[in-house]
A and B are shown apart, each in its own frame.
Chain A
Amino acid sequence: MKKLFTLLMIVSVIVSCRKDDSSFDGNNIQEMYSDFMVLSTFKVDKDSIDFANGEKAVFSAQFNKPVSWKISIKGQTSKAEKIITGQTKFIDATNATWNGSTTVFPMFKAENCIAQLTIDGVADTFQVQTKVKSLKVNQGLVIADFENGFSPSWTKFVQTGANMDFNIKNDTLCPQGAKYLRMAGTVNWDYLIGLIDYPATAYGTTKTLNLSANPNDVYFNCLIYGESASNPSIVLFQFKEDENADGSINGNSDDQYDYQINVNWIGWKLVTIKYADLVTLVNGQPSTPKGNSQHNPDKIGKISMLHLADPSQGFAACKIDYIMFTSAPLEP
């Protein structure tokens, strides 16, 4: 019994040893619900931004309490939009720096922009003006942006269906540059509407694309516009590796990785995938690669881009632009 008493005493001493905490975690809730005041007005640090030379725009403001805020920067000509959000008492370089990238496509042009600040629970909005002097440069290997039309090195196949369109367009919907590709048609006997092959030789190499060998450092990106949700297009990219670099791709001994995009949205959207995350698909289902089963982006010999759709559902259409590889997810 004595041992038991000693043990209980030890436990009691331990239990009573924590100090009272006189601070609290996070933002002050009482302050969160107090009247809102602007302590420093909404500003931008540059009237004109030279993104091509690495310049960035920094927005700033200060409030009396933490708020959920949103800055919407809109291009007055392109109608491009960049959205930056945060939940802080202040807006500064740490949370509101704009590098020229776009959230809502098309991409920005050299144009005047208006940045509007809105705050949750506050009726007033705040505006500043700035100007894009030159565009952000995205580093990477561009497979197709259609600015120079169809390359003679590409191979195009289009089914002979109804209302077929596999042409480069030049209109206000263009998200990047001045041109994009529209792929559309009704093919009621086959999923395939059309395809384009992009061989590695079209990009200044003799056999395979000049990309990093590390599949975790290679990202595939493109911008896709969904036209209709009733018969969604399927855009299938096939990355065909030439593992022994013999200049030919063997379907039975070389790996092929696939990226199937079900275009079930309307409007432009950026799609990005790391090369290491690609899988081999057969009829849309994961399957085992036929080669060394290793992702080798530096051994891509050809990329095939297929436009597919359910033949029983009729007309399908989508638009595509700015197909490129980057070393990090593209921030166009």
Chain B
Amino acid sequence: MKKHLFKYMLMLLSLMSYHSMAQQKRTVDFIGGARSVLSNNNIVVSDSLPDTTTIKRNSGGYALIDLGVDIKPNKNTEILGIFRIRNAYGGFWGAGVTFDVRQLFLKGVISDKVRYQVGDLNLKQTPFTLYNHHADRLDSLPSVFKLQNDILNYEKFYRDNTWRQQGVNVDFGFEFAKGIKELNFTGYLTRLNATDFSSIPERLMGGTTIQLIQSKNLALSYNGFSVFDVKGTVLDSNTYTNNVNSIGLKYLYELNKNTIVFNGEAGRSNVQYAEDFDKSYLADYFINASATFNWLKKNLSFTAGYLNVGPDFRSIGAQSKEIDYSSLTGYYNRYTNDQIIRPISLMDLIVGDSLYATSVSAKLNIANPIYNNAMPYGLATFNRLGAYLKLDYHNEKGIQLNAQHFYLNEIRGQGTLKLKQFQVTKLTAQFEMDKLFHFQKRMNIQIGLMNEITNRNSDVAVEKVDLKTMRYQLGAEYELFKKIDVLAGGMFLNCKGNEFIPQRNVYSTVSFFEEANYNMTQKIIAVGARCRFDEKIHLTALYQVSEYNDKLIASPKYSINQFALIYNMTF
């Protein structure tokens, strides 16, 4: 019986292949990925009394498969659906098994002119309209942390600086013979939240970009972004609106064999609740202008910029923080005998997917001064005025260097007329030692550093702010045997000083300040071994120790030791 079944299946497959060949334009591809994570964690709490309440050990894991079907029924249409089957370890006969639709879109071209996509969209415009800044992250993560962070990025659909939305996107363009080279239009409309016909209104987000490319040297653009509640979807007529309009300029100036690129964007925003106009209306403008000198022969670029973002500038597309520090961590979210909330550590920033958002939100997530006090909403951080410098170098021998320095001031005081000054210095470097020294085996070293200083000088002692944070990281990977790498890395953070944390009301204006004092160190050290079956499949075993030490004992010291086995593949 089995023999016959096998024969019939072979015949069926042959027929299907013939059918595919006969209609070469119609294709069906299977794509996707699979992952298995098994982890064992242990928390050690150093409290004045031994913590006998918290369950110290935690183990678990899951296996999942994302199976996608990419259908191209004709040359102008593509349909992609990715389904997820996830099973928690310990699940049995369907318990713990979930089936989800992870991604679904349809895209195509109408009359070879208008491109469209409906369903899931990855959207971004400019850093002041719609943009996921990943503001609290430090680039060039050591590989041993990056592979854990990549899982988070995949789960939350963080690609470049896009936000995942559901809706429709259309773009089209015109080419001209003279005067103007190209005129391109992009527009999208997505649904931020669905109404419950009771208290939650239907909230939509839309945007437009019109780009005029005059020549290879000059381009102008208009960007419009809007979030609005649809009237009538709930009885409450207190509808929310946030509009941002900006114009952009890009001018390329050729200087001998090098180039200078001038980039600029300026715009205005307004936000309001219709019924609470007096309390909620905020409007302001921003300017961001920079000049980048590209020394092409030396692979070096140098940027000098000016930033001016008004204190009442609000753009939820650009100011939605991906991380919500008021959320609870996925595990060990409470500790000590009093079961207080465990403060968020560097480890949670790398792997804590329960803290991260998947969509833009009208709620202004609070900043955490430990991780980012100067620019918690990236370039779109309101109430900032100043300048910045950037240096970027890379060569074919495998050296990548990036340095940034921001010098910013507040525009409007916070609880006082005195203004704060911020200085942020970031350095990241990556050295591919195998290329540099012609080693046979792969060897990479990653270095990163971020230093942030916040100051507010005043004759009145209570108004003074002095906060210093230093975050640094070092990582290495070495191919010990063919396709077997050892990985190691460490991240360290010191934070000392004081700051006033603003409590914001529903209209995002400050209602109260709470003083916070810091004197803490954090570190996370990890070692691991990775077996690369090929570029898309790897099995990694890693062990990491994360320590959080608050010297002011606002939160007792703790450390979390974790062993994890991660199998990851894409196909």
Contacts and interface: CB of A to CB of B under 8 A. Distances in A.
Interface string A268-282: 000000000000001
Contacts of A27: 415, 510-513
Interface in A177-205: none
Interface residues of A, number: 34
A229 interface: yes
B53 A229 contact: yes
Contacts of A4: 253, 260
B416 A287 contact: no
Nearest to B385: A18
A123 interface: no
Contacts of A216: 196-198, 200
B306 to A, nearest CB: 6
Interface string B486-530: 000000000000001011000001111100000000000000000
Most buried by B among A21, A28, A288: A21
Interface residues of B, number: 48
Interface string A226-268: 0001000000000000000000000000000000000000000
Q: Is the interface of A mostly helix, strand, loop or mixed?
A: mixed
Contact of B511 (A24, A26, A32): A26
A24 B500 CA distance: 14
B411 A25 contact: no
Contacts of B503: 87
B88 A285 contact: yes
A26 B264 contact: no
A230 to B, nearest CB: 10
Contacts of A18: 308, 310, 385, 411
A302 to B, nearest CB: 22
A23 B412 contact: yes
Interface string B425-441: 00000000000000000
Contacts of B296: none
A28 B415 contact: yes
B97 A287 contact: yes
Contacts of A11: 264, 289, 306
Contact of A14 (B196, B262, B289, B462): B289
Contacts of B96: 282-283, 285-287
Nearest to A285: B96
Interface of B: 53, 88, 90-99, 196-198, 200, 251, 253, 260, 262, 264, 266, 287, 289, 306, 308, 310-311, 383, 385, 411-417, 460, 462-463, 500, 502-503, 509-513
The 9 closest A-B pairs by CB, nearest first: A285-B96, A26-B510, A24-B413, A29-B415, A216-B196, A282-B95, A33-B462, A87-B512, A285-B95
Interface of A: 3-4, 7, 11, 14-15, 18, 21-30, 32-33, 66, 68, 87-88, 214, 216-217, 229, 282-288
